Structure 1
Amino acid sequence: MVIEVRDGVAVVDGVPRVLVTADYPYYRDDPAVWADRLRAVRDELGIEVITCYLPWRHHQPEAGAAPDFTGRTHPARDVVGFLALCHELGLRVIAKPGPFVHAELSYGGLPDWVCPDADPSIEPLLDAAGAPACWDDGAAMRPLPAPFGTAFLAMTTRWLASVGKEVLPGAGAVVALQIANEGVYTSGALPLTAYDYSPSGIAFHRDRLRSWYGTPEEYNALHGTGHADWAEIEPPGPAAGPLAQADWGRAHAEYLARVYRVWARAVGSDLPVLVNLNPPTVPELDDWLARVRPELWGEISYGFTNWMGVVSADPAAQARYVIAAKRAPGPNLEENWGFAELYDPAYIDGATSFHQSLLALAAGATGFNVYTGVATSGWGPELDAAHTGVYPDCAPVDAGGTATSKAPVVRALADFFAAHGAEFLECVPRRSEAFGLYLPYAGIAALSGGTEGPGCGRALLAFHERMRARGLDYGLVELESATPEELAAYRSLTVPGGPFLHRRVQELLAGYAKAGGVVLVDGPVPELDERLEPYALLAPFATPMPAAPAPPDGDNLVLYGEADAYLRSHPDGDVHYLVVLVRTGNEGPIGLRTPYGTVEVVAAEGGGAVLRLAGGEIGDVVVKGVNAYLDCAVEASVRLDGVRTGAAGPGDLVRIGGFIG
């Protein structure tokens, strides 16, 4: 198996596929059970690709010793043997060497000896107040190292290079890599004031200003300052001018891109590299938007995670999840399939994770990960002192290796997308409206507080809520890199209002409007360009936001019932995919508008369904009919033109290849 990643899609042996993976934290388990657990993932869950972190603190606990990848110091460190087992069993692996991995490990998986408290030569990461950014281990708060500090950068380079030289060669199982974790230190969604104000971080900011403006004189002319040297420019605060605030947001985006590139290059591998951004929080939506710019990452591919709440019951969590899935094409690299005690009791039942995995795919993701596929119980306190017993508490395969009630749910999704994933990806989502991200506004709002003045997050969240209320899917477009062809796919585009807008963006939007598109501006229509010089090309083509939201129209898919629905259709054939996501609290069937008339779906509340429609008929389906957490069990079914296909009693409905399982 050879995996490439093209435009966020995993291409396996030349064929695009929905990437369905499961995580197995081998380092938390007894090596004697590795083979058994891997067989369970393969045979019970139907999954062919394993993901696993390679924790630095696990493989190199002592600074003076070389990393152990073969088990010479402890059998659980034999990751080379683990990968060989994967290869023997026909499994492939996405290896995740960090350097920081989180994974509920002490110090996020970093070895203790890279902590600035342990080595004064290691520069700490600082926040805007000059305080160290710390990792909470439960018992202690420990400062984190600045990624570009000289000493720590040398250490991370050596660690990643050792993985590239000692683990990857000969490990035929490894087909891709993941670098970092949810930003740098699970910090992708933190405020822009949380980091990086260390000397190396400020030096990076000044270097970016030099590259953008060329000379201090040019910088001064635009910012109204009088700096004689770049070294005089400090990071902006809430009272700074809008251009300086936008610069800080842009520097954050380039900072994250630089970290990713430096760490990926250190591995020295030509395997595809992905990252797993954590979704934004609602208060820090602008911070996340300013920082997360996949357009700057080059060969590194976007991915995201989900650790934020039950989306079927929480509208804010649903919005954050959809925005993360739409930001760029790529897989969901961690969906919670195993943690109820640590996160939310709703995850005790597979319906919650089923709903969220399908939502990710419907909103724009190209795959999903079962995190974790297997429960484990064999780690020592040096690896994780905060958690004891079983990790996680309710995985699809339990700590004894037995398949749980979640296993058939995972298997149904894995089998459905193994059969239809390539076609699903070929189908085009029904989206006639889009939101245009103008990310300089995100940086301004992130530093100024975002209650007044330009911003991106407020307008995006309001747009999302309007579209969901109307029952419509939508696109997300980054305006500074967008093309006319991208915009032409939509009949209307909503953009945040404010005082200025890049000339190129105004020209792009004006051209779109001249071609028949509608540009809705949420706020003041810009009359300046990026240099704050008069430029109002967009003004004659801009349409103010309507005072009242538009009511549901003929494009909405849900006719009755409380659910979200997504439809995608093949551009060259009569094939469609319908995803139905039932909200918590719904009672009764869901009626849906489709190309073949009304389809009725009966599914558990908090559950959902995915249907293949072709030739006027309903084909393969997976419908979740049971949600034990909500004490809901229905006879899962689908109905078209009076013809019903359903379960014989309360339970799930799975029909793949024409056969009901």
Structure 2
Amino acid sequence: MTRGAWPGLDRHRPILVGELPYYRMRPERWRASLEALREAGIDVVSFYVPWRFHELGASGQERFDFTGRTDAQKDVVGFMRAIAETGLAALVKPGPFIHAEVQLGGLPDRLCDPMHVAPYEGADGGHLMSQGKPLPKVHDPRFRREVDAWMEAVNVSLIEPFAHPRGPVVAVQLGNEGVLGEACKPVRHADLGAGSQLRGAARARAAAELTVQQWSLLSSRLHPSPVRVVNAPLVRIGTAAEPGAFGSWLARSAAFRAAPVHLGHTEWVGDASSDPSAFLAHALQIGAARSDVAEANWGFTWTTGRFAQGAAPLFHALLALVLGARILSVYTACATGSWGSSIDMDADGLVADGFDPTLYAPPYCPGAPFDEMGGRNVNHGSLLRLRSAVDAEGAALLESTIEPDLVLAVDPLAAAQASEEGSMAAALDRLVERMGMWLFAEGRHVAIALDPRDEDVSMVWRGEADTDAVGRRLAASPARAARGLGGRIARFVRSGRDASFLGLFNPHDRADEIALQIADRERRFHLPARSGLLARIQGGEVAVVVATDAGATLVVDR
């Protein structure tokens, strides 16, 4: 399923989705927080529904509490009514595995007990772990029966009664980063059941098809009206990546894009505003998958404080917009600090997984635009600037198309071969390295396509020799590209009927300038370190729409 609007929402501007974890908030603060999100320009409230939080027992008629009869914080039905009364739409994310820094990703303890359910086991013999415990095998019939009961309970209480057009639910997310988070890992880690002996293209194809099949099973338990959304993760590239990671991503993404789901992505691969490798991961993968933003960091400070300082979240949002995203995520929109032991992650389990438990103490997402008590943080200003840009230029952006210098399709067989450790994976890594050089040092935007049959494909990559052929073709092509004077600026162009857009980004630690010829005039832009801007071009005139830094601006217009 291609990008597109969700039912009941404005189709003429990008959609802003704000995450609000009701299970980490005082119920008396729900409505005020929802109203704050609406006033800030949020269109859709997204929220996970943690299985272990709502389950009262493993069986029985009153197995789950969705109405707050045992605990007011469990009244997600009341939360849904508040969403509707506030005039917002809803994206419900029931998992069954949600991650979301909830113990065992929201699964009940028994499902991660090998004595109760067989553990997930990759073709390489490894387990998929959460807080030191193995996650369950998705093929296990005991797991499937329990998942079916959970999804049916969610449907009866939350989806069917509140589905659009009667209610606010316009979309439902299936699973999380695959089903159990497995889509962020190379396919050799996939649990293929009877197909565990498969290798190469057969293994890559089976891993992707298994995930799509599981999404279909989850979807079958839900009311048909809401759009089915999935959040496939971006993966690291370059020296920080696990061997075969990008080839696995390419192989999976081709299958995911063809599935009957709305494809989104999560952005947990580093700070694209300050790390060129993370920037390149975003630039290559968002454009190739044509995915919308399912989760973008708007205030978590686990790895860097920059995500709480305004510029980095806005940088990520502008980059996604320029690459074609029609839905943007504010994850989370509100810093929260009210939750109990049922969802709190086990400290010993975190240590077993290599994490510092103190990083997960309240508040959750400390740099979010709002906090639970109504306060506003630095990122609130960035959210308002993003909303203003979307309101002013969203329609023209959606009408425009990106104009790369060259579109390079990766042959599906080559991608599958590169999903394994070996020479093809190494060749693909070298291609990625060259693409970074072309983008920054030479000012050439080479986009990746997943399907060689796409009409805009210029060349097909099948191995090392094609990398050199791309370089020769770029060298021989007209020099319409422009590079930063210091080789630190990435340039993207979108062309539309009435206006064009220019995205300029400097993810490096030093400032740079770039000179462009626009309508027979030289325009020079200055970008401080770790900054970006979006500019509109119409009738030969150039205007900066929004910038992440006051110093990112047009400095010469002659």
* Range class of TM-score, shorter chain: 0.7 to 0.9
Alignment map for 1:313-352 (pairs within 5 Å): 313-340=274-301, 342-352=302-312
Whole-angstrom distance in 1 between the partners of 2:426 and 2:512: 43
- Residue in structure 2 matching 1:362, options 302, 316, 322: 322
Whether 1:473 and 2:445 are equivalent positions in the alignment is yes
Alignment of 1:65-464 (within 5 A): 65-117=62-114, 120-135=115-130, 137=131, 141-171=132-162, 172-196=167-191, 201-203=192-194, 205=195, 235-236=197-198, 244-282=199-237, 283=242, 284-294=245-255, 297-340=258-301, 342-385=302-345, 386=347, 387-447=360-420, 449-451=421-423, 456=428, 458-464=430-436
Q: Which runs of 5+ in 1 are unaligned?
A: 1-5, 206-233, 237-243, 499-519, 524-543, 627-633, 643-661
Q: 1:584 Cα deviation (Å)?
A: 3.1
Partner residue of 2:459?
493
Map 1:53-68; keep pairs closer than 5 Å.
53-64=48-59, 65-68=62-65
State the match for 1:638 in structure 2: 554
**Change beyond 3 A, Cα 1:175–1:620:** farther
Give the deviation of 1:183 after TM superposition: 1.8
Match of 1:512 in 2: none
Q: Residue 91 of structure 2 contacts residue 169 of structure 2 at CA under 8 Å; is this kept in 1?
A: yes
TM-aligned CA distance change 1:436 to 1:637, over 3 Å = closer
What is the CA distance between 1:578 and its match in structure 2? 1.5
Q: 1:31 aligns with which of 19, 22, 27?
A: 27
Contact map agreement 1:96 1:178 (CA 8 A) in 2: yes
**One-letter amino acid matched to 1:154:** R
C-alpha spacing 1:257/1:24, structure 2 compared with 1 (3 Å): same
> Which residue does the alignment assign to 2:353?
none
Deviations 1:306-349 (A, max 9, x none): 11112233222122222220232231111111111x12222231
Distance of 1:408 and 1:108 partners within structure 2? 31
1:569 aligns with 2:531: no
- Alignment check: 8 A CA contact 1:68 1:78 kept: yes
Q: CA deviation at 1:637?
A: 4.0
Deviation at residue 452 of structure 1 after TM alignment = 5.5
Deviation, structure 1 residue 88:
0.9
Shift of 1:299: 1.8
Paired position in structure 2 for 1:537:
none
1:595-614 paired onto structure 2 within 5 Å: 595=519, 597-614=521-538
Give 1:547 deviation, angstroms.
Answer: 7.2
Flag the 1:328–1:17 CA change in 2: closer, same or farther, 3 A: farther
**Could you say what secondary structure the match of 1:336 adopts?**
coil
Superposed CA offset, 1:453-502 (max 9, x none): 896554355335434432222332223xx43xx33x35x3141238xxxx
Equivalent pairs: percent with the same residue? 27
Task: Decide whether the 8 Å contact of 1:179 with 1:263 is kept in 2.
Answer: yes
**Mean alpha-carbon deviation: is it higher for 588-597 or for 177-186?**
588-597
Q: Secondary structure at the match of 1:247?
A: helix
- The verdict on how the C-alpha distance between 1:611 and 1:296 changes in structure 2, with shifts beyond 3 A counting, is closer
- Find the aligned partners of 2:478 and 2:304 in 1 and give their Cα distance: 36
Structure 2 residue ranges without an equivalent (≥5):
348-359
Q: CA offsets, 1:234-287, max 9 Å, x none?
A: 614xxxxxxx42111111111111111111222233211111111122232122
Q: Secondary structure at the match of 2:368?
A: coil
Amino acid at match of 1:579: G
Q: For 1:20-67, what per-residue CA distance to the aligned partner results, in whole angstroms no more than 9, with x for missing partners?
A: 211111110110111111122122x32121111111111115312522
Describe the shift of the 1:565–1:451 C-alpha distance in structure 2 as closer, same or farther (beyond 3 A).
same
The Cα of 1:610 is off from its aligned counterpart by: 1.4
What SS does structure 1 have at the residue aligned with 2:335? coil
Deviation track 1:114-133 (CA, whole Å, cap 9, x = no partner) reads 2233xx34221112354433
CA distance in 2, matches of 1:195, 1:588: 43
Superposition RMSD on alpha carbons, in Å?
2.6
Larger radius of gyration: 1
Q: Distance in 1 between matches of 2:126 and 2:425?
A: 29
Q: CA deviation at 1:145?
A: 0.8
Report the Cα distance in structure 2 between the residues aligned to 1:556 and 1:278, rounded to whole angstroms. Answer: 31
Q: Distance in 2 between matches of 1:52 and 1:610?
A: 30
Residues 438 and 80 of structure 1, relative CA distance in 2, 3 Å threshold: same
Alignment partners' CA distance in 1, 2:9 and 2:320: 24
Partner Cα distance (1:577, 1:549) in 2: 23
Cα distance, 1:300 vs structure 2: 0.6
Tell me, yes or no, if the aligned pair for 1:445 and 1:456 is still in contact at 8 Å.
Answer: yes
**Structure of higher RCO (CA pairs closer than 8 Å, 6+ residues apart):** 2
Q: Distance in 2 between matches of 1:417 and 1:621?
A: 10
1:574-626 Cα offsets, whole Å, 9 max, x none, are x1111222333233654344346333444543122112222232356112225
> Given that residues 52 and 108 in structure 2 are in contact (C-alpha distance below 8 angstroms), is that contact kept between their aligned partners in structure 1?
yes
Query: Is 1:587 matched up with 2:511?
Result: yes
CA shift at 1:180, angstroms?
1.1
TM-score, scaled relative to structure 2: 0.88
1:288 Cα offset (Å): 2.1
Residue identity in the other structure for 1:408: G
- How far off its partner does 1:292 sit? 2.8
Distance 2:424 2:511 in 1: 41
Cα offset for 1:294?
A: 3.9
Deviation at 1:432, TM superposition (A): 3.3
For the structure 1 residues 469 and 189, does the alpha-carbon distance in structure 2 shift closer, same or farther, using more than 3 Å as the test? Answer: farther
Q: Which amino acid aligns with 1:496?
A: R
Structure 1 counterpart of 2:443, which letter? Answer: G
Question: What is the rounded CA distance, in whole Å, between the counterparts of 2:182 and 2:519 in structure 1?
Answer: 43
Cα 1:463–1:494 change in 2 (3 A) is farther
Mapped contact 2:287–2:323 kept (Cα < 8 A): yes
Q: Which has the higher helix share?
A: 2
Q: Distance in 2 between matches of 1:51 and 1:330?
A: 17
Is the 1:557–1:566 contact (alpha carbons within 8 Å) kept by the matching residues of 2?
Answer: no
1:181 Cα shift? 1.1
8 Å CA contact 1:396, 1:407 repeated in 2: yes
Q: Distance in 2 between matches of 1:567 and 1:615?
A: 16
Contact 2:273–2:507, Cα closer than 8 Å, also in 1: yes
Aligned residue type for 1:281: R
Q: CA deviation at 1:422?
A: 2.2
Q: Aligned in 2, Cα 1:354/1:296: closer, same or farther, shift over 3 Å?
A: closer
| Preserved contact between residue 482 and residue 514 of structure 2 (Cα < 8 Å) | no
- Contact persistence 2:65–2:74 (CA under 8 A): yes
Provide the C-alpha distance between the structure 1 equivalents of 2:372 and 2:207, rounded to a whole number of angstroms.
41
| Residues 460 and 606 (structure 1), Cα distance of their counterparts in 2 relative to 1, 3 Å cut | closer
Change (3 A) 1:16 1:274: farther
Judge conservation of contact 1:21–1:49 (CA < 8 Å) in 2. Answer: yes
* Aligned partners of 2:283 and 2:323 also within 8 Å: yes
TM-superposed deviation, 1:433: 0.7
Amino acid at match of 2:172: L
> Which residue matches 1:501?
none
Offset at residue 302 of structure 1 (A): 1.1
CA contact (8 A) 1:602 1:625 kept: no
